Structure 1
Amino acid sequence: MLVIWWLWPLLAVCASDPFQLKAKEIMKTTPVIDGHNDLPWQLLTLFNNKLNDSKANLTTLMETHTNIPKLQDGFVGGQFWSAYMPCDTQNKDAVRRILEQIDVIHRMCQLYPETFLCVTNSSGIRQAFSEGKVASLIGVEGGHLIDSSLGVLRTLYHLGMRYLTLTHNCNTPWADNWMVDTGDDKAESQGLSVFGKRVLKEMNRLGVMIDLSHVSVATMKDALQYSKAPVIFSHSSAYNICPSKRNVPDDVLQLVNKTRSLVMVNFYSKFVSCSKDATLSQVADHLDHIKKVAGAGAVGLGGDYDGVTELPKGLEDVSKYPDLIAELLRRNWTDTEVRGVLADNLLRVFFDVEQASNSMEIPEEEPIPLGELEGSCRTHYGYSQAPSIHLQMGALLASLTPLLFSLHLL
Structure 2
Amino acid sequence: MIFDAHCDVLMKLYLDPDKLSFQSKEDMHITYPQLNECGSKVQLFAIYIPSYLKPGQRFQAALEMVNLFHKRIIEPHPDVKFVTSKEDIDNLAQNEIGAVLTLEGAEAIEEDLEKLETLYRLGVRSVGLTWNWANAAGDGALEPRGGGLTNFGFEMIDFLNEKNMWTDVSHLCEKSFWDTVEAAQYPIASHSNAYSICPNPRNLKNEQIEALIKKDSVMGVTFVPPFLNKKGSAELTDVVRHIEHICSLGGEDHIGFGSDFDGIDQTVKGLSTYKQYDNLIGTLQRYYSDKQIKKFLFENFYKRFPFGCIR
Q: TM-score range by the shorter chain?
A: over 0.9
Match of 1:391 in 2: none
User: Which structure dedicates a bigger proportion of its chain to helix?
Assistant: 1
Q: Which runs of 5+ in 2 are unaligned?
A: none
1:150 maps to 2:105: no
Q: CA RMSD in A?
A: 1.8
Deviation at 1:266, TM superposition (A): 1.0
Percent identical: 26
Match of 1:216 in 2: 173
Deviation at 1:344, TM superposition (A): 1.1
Of 284, 298, 303, 1:343 maps to 298
SS in structure 2 of the partner of residue 37 of structure 1: coil
Match of 2:134 in 1: 171
Match of 1:314 in 2: 270
Q: Check whether the contact 2:109–2:115 (CA below 8 A) recurs between aligned residues.
A: yes
Match of 2:256 in 1: 300
Listed as ranges, the matches of 1:323-362 within 5 Å are 323-331=279-287, 333-351=288-306, 354=307
Deviations 1:216-254 (A, max 9, x none): 011111111111x23111111111111000011101011
How far, CA to CA, are the matches of 2:300 and 2:285 in structure 1?
Answer: 17
Q: Structure 2 vs 1, CA of residues 99 and 296 (structure 1 numbering), >3 Å: closer, same or farther?
A: same
Give the number of the structure whose alpha-carbon radius of gyration is greater. Answer: 1
SS in structure 2 of the partner of residue 195 of structure 1: helix
Deviation at 1:86, TM superposition (A): 2.0
Match of 2:68 in 1: 104
Q: Check whether the contact 2:20–2:28 (CA below 8 A) recurs between aligned residues.
A: no
Q: Structure 2 vs 1, CA of residues 90 and 168 (structure 1 numbering), >3 Å: closer, same or farther?
A: farther
How far, CA to CA, are the matches of 1:151 and 1:274 in structure 2?
Answer: 41
Deviations 1:56-97 (A, max 9, x none): 443335231122222233311110011111233353311111
Deviation at 1:336, TM superposition (A): 2.6
Of 96, 106, 115, 1:133 maps to 96
Q: Structure 2 vs 1, CA of residues 90 and 223 (structure 1 numbering), >3 Å: closer, same or farther?
A: farther
Match of 1:45 in 2: 15
SS in structure 1 of the partner of residue 44 of structure 2: strand
Q: Which runs of 5+ in 1 are unaligned?
A: 1-30, 360-410
Of 66, 78, 90, 2:30 maps to 66
How far, CA to CA, are the matches of 1:280 and 1:90 in structure 2?
Answer: 39
Match of 2:233 in 1: 277
1:196 maps to 2:153: yes
Deviations 1:264-321 (A, max 9, x none): 0110111111333110110111111112214211100000111101111110100111
How far, CA to CA, are the matches of 1:110 and 1:270 in structure 2?
Answer: 32
Match of 2:201 in 1: 245
Aligned residues: 311
